[in-house]
Homo-oligomer: A and B are copies of this chain.
Amino acid sequence: MTNKVPVGVSNRHLHLSSADIETLFGAGYELKPLKELSQPGQYAAEEVVTVLGPKGSIEKVRVLGPARNQTQVEVSKTDSFKLGITPPVRDSGDLSESSSIILKGPKGQVELKEGAIIAQRHIHMHTSDAEKLGLKDKQLVSVKTEGKRSVIFNNVLARVKDSFALEFHIDTDEANCAELKNGELVEIIK
């Protein structure tokens, strides 16, 4: 059994609640899928919004679908300096006391009291992958990369679900630090 896993680099993006979709894009609006993502059922939508912090803004931040229960904005540390916010490093969905942020769409604006995070790096895997790798949901592992900028990422969260496909999710800071590209194979170290 190999312990290799393909890299998936996430640029800044956001997930929207149905209510916030209507505020930003109009009553009854539904996201238009643009491109399927590697995780089954997930897609990049045609829609983009402007994200505003106290120090600056970033335009054309991609919305991912489908809608979620709570709006979540995922930025990199680099982005956070531009915006002037200090988001915590968090697992997806864990938004308690995360950074406040403003979203601006073509039809309206949403002021989030909390919702902006830096995503904790993680490995999505199907239950069958986890069995083969001898890993459990929420287990922390390390991941080693090769090359001149070789690093070992510690505190990588294993996320196991029957709807997940095997992929190591990192943000653009992590990808640029280690010179990693989408689809590159890296090694899980337990």
Contact = CB atoms under 8 A, between A and B. Distances in A.
Interface of A: 76-78, 89, 120-121, 148-155, 172-174, 176-179
A89 B176 contact: no
Name the prevailing secondary structure of the A interface residues: mixed
Contacts of A121: 149
A59 to B, nearest CB: 15
Contacts of A174: 177
B77 A176 contact: yes
Contacts of A76: 176
A173 B180 CA distance: 12
A145 to B, nearest CB: 9
Nearest to A90: B148
Contact of A173 (B148, B153, B155, B173): B173
Contacts of A89: 148-149, 179
A43 to B, nearest CB: 24
Contact of A150 (B78, B154, B173): B154
Contact of A151 (B77, B120, B152, B172): B152
